[in-house]
Structure 1
Amino acid sequence: MATAPTKTLRFAGLGVLLTTLAGCATAPMSRLASPGSASPSDPNVVKTKVPHKVATHAPAVVKVGECPVPAIDHARAGHAVDTSDKKYSNLWNRIRAGLRLPRMEGPRVARYEQWFANNPQYVENMLQRANLYLYQIVQDVSKRNMPMEIALLPAIESAYSPDAYSRSAAIGLWQFEPSTGRLWGLKNNWWYNGERDIIASTNAALDFLQSLHNQFHSWDLALAAYNAGQGTVEAAIAHNKALGLGTHYRDLRLPLQTEHYVPKLMAFVNIVRDPAKYGLTLRAIPNSPYFVRVNTGSQVDLSVIARLANMSLKQLYAINPGFTHWATAPNGPHTILVPVATKAALIEGLSQLPPQDRMQWARHRVVPGDTLYGISREYGVSIAAIRSTNHLYGDLLHVGQNLLIPMAGRRLVVSRHPAARTEVALARSGPQRVKIIHRVRPGDTLWSIAERYRVYVTQLERWNVLNAHDVLRLGQRILIWASPAMVPSAMAKTRVTE
């Protein structure tokens, strides 16, 4: 996890299994719980035995506290390998060619190797997500001439999920805490979160890691500092210096989570290096880009982008997780990622799109008694969105003032009367709407529910007083006003006309 220099330890991603791994038993680890992973009792998980013990290729094992870990070279390991060309059709082979850190062995590494081997479904699900992003990460790592082990770090941080969220508010593939994200230039507003943006967060993480390597002159110490914070590693080094002890990674007494962090990464590196040894198969990933960046020029409704690119909103959000609502941010970034094959169609479609069709707006004229809070509730948008759109810096409104209210790709029917509020028709097609109560099931999100019933996430937010990032509970009742054609008639309970 990317933490601020003086912050205390936070851990995210796969988890370090603190309680389970506090000791250093050498018995094989058959079942360990990992946050976000499939339960070992899940019938979809196939128990796999590690075929044989890893052959020794690492430096001699030395003692760190009670647990032995291998020594790691503290200079830049290995020689740079050119992995930028196209001689590798399979991205995994390109990654293997760029692995440069010395191999690590020991009980901790072996435990994580066996955990991955015993949870093939977890690995499969994780790498299905990685399939979308890994080429871009590898490209950025290669351009900086960094070890390819760094491209595998999101497996430990977030299991390659840009939606991963920790208790310490770390978020995204690289698990940036908000303060650290700001420090490394990641923007965050109502419309957009740079910590979840694939390209922005990757560049920030690599900047941070390179800075740590320049400071500590060691990739293992840089990784430890990325997890625990620079201050934690600096303090451990200063403590050892005062006692006349060594200051290499293997010599330091670091928080237990951090002592497991590098071995865990190296265990996954070993899996990637030779998956068959652990009874695993890594599906080939093409060594070519999955997505490409397209300049939209201005704010645009994401549903319009999805339509022009001939893809679903779910697919669009999967590669653009930085956008937190229904449109790109009014003040940028005015770029969007789309699959390579759809680039030409999107550019042509945007060039022919009338400006008024990029976004739809309601115009609200302020009357006595209006407040930003009341207006935001009326239209189902946040106060932050209204402020951003209208360049407001406080809560003061003036009677007669006109406000533009962003509305997500809806047909607007606006009427204004002194004694009546503005009416907004939220229907996508046709006036008839059916009241549906949807009970949340495993895997449901507001995005998936909206896609299923062909409504907008903002509508679900308004109807249920929710936020797009609220965690849904199993069995939770979600109110939906849907088109009758989109749901079985048996589900219809009340017919209404908006």
Structure 2
Amino acid sequence: MLATESQLDPPPAVELPASATHVVTVQAPRDLWERISRGFAMPDLDDPERVAQWERWYASRPDYLQRMVDRGSKYLFHIVEELERRELPLELALLPFIESAFNPQAVSRAKAAGMWQFMPATGRHFDLKQNAFRDDRRDVLASTRAALDYLERLHRMFGDWHLALAAYNWGEGNVQRAMKRNQAAGLPAGYLDLRMPDETRHYVPKLQAVKNLVRAPDAYGVRLPVVGNHPFFDSVRIERDMDVALIARLAGVSEADFRTLNPAHHKPVIMAAGTPEILLPWDHAVQFAERLKEWRGPTASWTAWRVPRDMTAAQAARELGWDEVQLRQINRVPPRMKLKAGSTILVPREGRLDRDVPEQLADHGQILLAPEAPPVRTVRIKARSGDTLASIARRHGVRVADLAAWNGLKPNAPLRAGQVLHVQTRAPAKATAAKASGARSAKAAPRRDGPRTRAADAARPSDKTSNRPTAHTAQR
């Protein structure tokens, strides 16, 4: 339908009140803390005593806060971007502070790993590969994707963020059972109403305390280090297997800095079939891509080899023409352990093994170990009057069938007094002398407690028995 002339006339001017003519400008966040604060969307937890306890704890430890932020500043922007893309509360960007103090190498006593603290089984459920060459529970991109997938699922399950967080820490089954107990007793079933372990009871208050410090640091006498509202790293695609040393050299970064952004990898080579993207500091990613195009030399000096049969490390080294000590070191094969058939180990890339690692091995290669059998010695014994193969086997702790086979006899063959038999026994361990030597050393030197080996302990305190604020050890 055609418009009439009157319909084409501009509408009459309308005089607006002065208040309506004021234009509000939206300024970009000055830093990432402000951006996170603007995205807070969870209800505050009504547990003032525990929250205040943790506010005091964090505010009184500026060095600890500084270390956490220094680590987290490399990953926070990416996490915030992912949360906003999914339209999730930005409080969740602070969760790795509670989980691991933003240490991607943290490992709990329950074997949860990475900055999001995934247990092995839960990690596999969310497609986080854990093999001989990498552990995606520590991977910045993969673990963040998996954690947010998991948190979204828990929120759909419980319809409440505090319960979802409790389930992330304690396990969804435990939270569901606790809720059913309360409901059966006619009691409310919110986060504050449930009976739960102290660790989970303190879990959300700790997050609320960090949230409060981020929202109003001056109110707590806290000075948060500035974190820029821009990406720290960029992802770069690789087409061939590459040595970590070469990647660092082309990118102009140290190997330590490379591993900080790629903490899933603990080998000297990155396998393109399993990890086609690596992370590099933003300013170095372009330099790496340009230098890689110009590179004409080999890109990797390592490849993977599948062990064809049960072998000791010495046997495998001989077959490969390699040094046993190096084989053990690079593949973390403990002493007195052998490689089982099907194991995948890292070996020098040369000769018939000069090839990139295929996807199957890069994603699923495992090192399978078994104790090396101690050496066997044969001793000669003489049968006594009335001896049988059964009585001699019992006396020497061997099987009748084995004793008969060693001597070319049937298991029920009769014996005569003085008959010579051969018995195979394990060679005596050399540990006896070592043990005696160790005992003498212990008398000569005062005993010292061994170092704590848990990475997460270095990142955060732990007190699971007292009523003081407790540090988190994931149970997922």
Seen in structure 2, the aligned counterparts of structure 1 residues 299 and 246 have a Cα distance that, compared at 3 Å, is same
Q: Does 1:340 align with 2:282?
A: yes
The code of the aligned residue for 1:87 comes to: A
Aligned residue for 1:142, secondary structure, equals: helix
Aligned partners of 1:395 and 1:185: how far apart in 2? 21
Relative contact order: is structure 1 or structure 2 higher (C-alpha 8 Å, sep ≥ 6)? Answer: 2
Aligned residue for 1:205, secondary structure, equals: helix
Q: Does 1:131 align with 2:79?
A: no
Aligned residue for 2:135, secondary structure, equals: coil
The answer as to whether partners of 1:187 and 1:193 remain within 8 angstroms in 2 is yes
Aligned residue for 1:132, secondary structure, equals: coil
Equivalent pairs: percent with the same residue? 39
The answer as to whether partners of 2:166 and 2:200 remain within 8 angstroms in 1 is yes
Task: Give the 5 Å matches for 1:250-399.
Answer: 250-329=192-271, 331-354=273-296, 357-361=298-302, 374-375=315-316, 378=324, 380-381=326-327, 394=342
Aligned partners of 2:161 and 2:88: how far apart in 1? 10
Q: Does 1:213 align with 2:129?
A: no
Q: Does 1:197 align with 2:139?
A: yes
Tell me which stretches of 4 or more aligned residues in structure 1 moved more than 4 Å.
361-364, 366-373, 382-386
CA offset digits 1:468-494 (Å, max 9, x no partner): x998xxxxxxxxxxxxxxxxxxxxxxx
Structure 1 residue 199: Cα displacement: 0.8
Aligned partners of 1:139 and 1:362: how far apart in 2? 36
Aligned partners of 2:192 and 2:220: how far apart in 1? 27
CA offset digits 1:378-427 (Å, max 9, x no partner): 272469979xxxxx96269xxxxx763899xxxxxxxxxxxxxxxxxxxx
Seen in structure 2, the aligned counterparts of structure 1 residues 363 and 145 have a Cα distance that, compared at 3 Å, is closer
**Could you tell me which of 20, 28, 42 is aligned with 1:101?**
42
**Structure with the higher helix share, 1 or 2:** 2
Seen in structure 2, the aligned counterparts of structure 1 residues 370 and 186 have a Cα distance that, compared at 3 Å, is closer
Aligned residue for 1:294, secondary structure, equals: strand
The answer as to whether partners of 2:52 and 2:209 remain within 8 angstroms in 1 is yes
Aligned residue for 1:247, secondary structure, equals: coil
Q: Does 1:92 align with 2:17?
A: no
Structure 1 residue 311: Cα displacement: 0.8
Larger-gyration structure (1/2): 2
Structure 1 residue 299: Cα displacement: 1.1
Task: Determine the structure 2 residue equivalent to 1:230.
Answer: 172
Structure 1 residue 353: Cα displacement: 2.1
Aligned partners of 2:61 and 2:146: how far apart in 1? 31
CA offset digits 1:250-289 (Å, max 9, x no partner): 2211222111110111011111111111111112211110
Q: Does 1:145 align with 2:87?
A: yes
Aligned residue for 1:271, secondary structure, equals: helix
Aligned partners of 1:327 and 1:119: how far apart in 2? 38
Seen in structure 2, the aligned counterparts of structure 1 residues 373 and 272 have a Cα distance that, compared at 3 Å, is farther
Aligned partners of 1:195 and 1:92: how far apart in 2? 26
Structure 1 residue 228: Cα displacement: 0.1
Aligned partners of 1:88 and 1:168: how far apart in 2? 39
Aligned residue for 1:292, secondary structure, equals: strand
- The two structures, once aligned, show a CA RMSD in angstroms of 3.2
Seen in structure 2, the aligned counterparts of structure 1 residues 208 and 345 have a Cα distance that, compared at 3 Å, is same
CA offset digits 1:106-162 (Å, max 9, x no partner): 111010000011111100111011111111111111111111110000000000110
The answer as to whether partners of 1:194 and 1:201 remain within 8 angstroms in 2 is yes
Instruction: Structure 1 unaligned segments of length 5 or more: list them.
Output: 1-84, 387-391, 397-401, 408-468, 472-498
The code of the aligned residue for 2:342 comes to: G
Q: Does 1:404 align with 2:345?
A: no
Aligned residue for 1:224, secondary structure, equals: helix
Aligned partners of 2:313 and 2:152: how far apart in 1? 44
The code of the aligned residue for 2:81 comes to: Q
The answer as to whether partners of 1:190 and 1:384 remain within 8 angstroms in 2 is no
Seen in structure 2, the aligned counterparts of structure 1 residues 191 and 241 have a Cα distance that, compared at 3 Å, is same
Instruction: Structure 2 unaligned segments of length 5 or more: list them.
Output: 1-25, 318-322, 333-339, 345-350, 357-452, 456-476
CA offset digits 1:22-43 (Å, max 9, x no partner): xxxxxxxxxxxxxxxxxxxxxx
The code of the aligned residue for 1:192 comes to: R
Seen in structure 2, the aligned counterparts of structure 1 residues 86 and 359 have a Cα distance that, compared at 3 Å, is farther
Aligned partners of 2:254 and 2:285: how far apart in 1? 15
The code of the aligned residue for 2:30 comes to: S
Aligned partners of 2:214 and 2:187: how far apart in 1? 35
Seen in structure 2, the aligned counterparts of structure 1 residues 375 and 157 have a Cα distance that, compared at 3 Å, is same
Seen in structure 2, the aligned counterparts of structure 1 residues 270 and 383 have a Cα distance that, compared at 3 Å, is same
**Could you tell me which of 174, 178, 185 is aligned with 2:116?**
174
Structure 1 residue 338: Cα displacement: 0.5
Calculate the TM-score normalised by the size of structure 1. Answer: 0.58
The code of the aligned residue for 1:404 comes to: L
Aligned partners of 2:152 and 2:184: how far apart in 1? 27
Aligned partners of 2:40 and 2:231: how far apart in 1? 21
Seen in structure 2, the aligned counterparts of structure 1 residues 256 and 323 have a Cα distance that, compared at 3 Å, is same
Structure 1 residue 166: Cα displacement: 0.6
The code of the aligned residue for 2:38 comes to: A
Aligned partners of 1:239 and 1:368: how far apart in 2? 53
Aligned partners of 1:349 and 1:394: how far apart in 2? 38
Seen in structure 2, the aligned counterparts of structure 1 residues 341 and 236 have a Cα distance that, compared at 3 Å, is same
**Could you tell me which of 157, 165, 185 is aligned with 2:99?**
157
Aligned partners of 2:244 and 2:138: how far apart in 1? 17
Seen in structure 2, the aligned counterparts of structure 1 residues 287 and 329 have a Cα distance that, compared at 3 Å, is same
Seen in structure 2, the aligned counterparts of structure 1 residues 378 and 279 have a Cα distance that, compared at 3 Å, is same
The code of the aligned residue for 1:378 comes to: E
The answer as to whether partners of 2:309 and 2:341 remain within 8 angstroms in 1 is no
Structure 1 residue 371: Cα displacement: 5.2
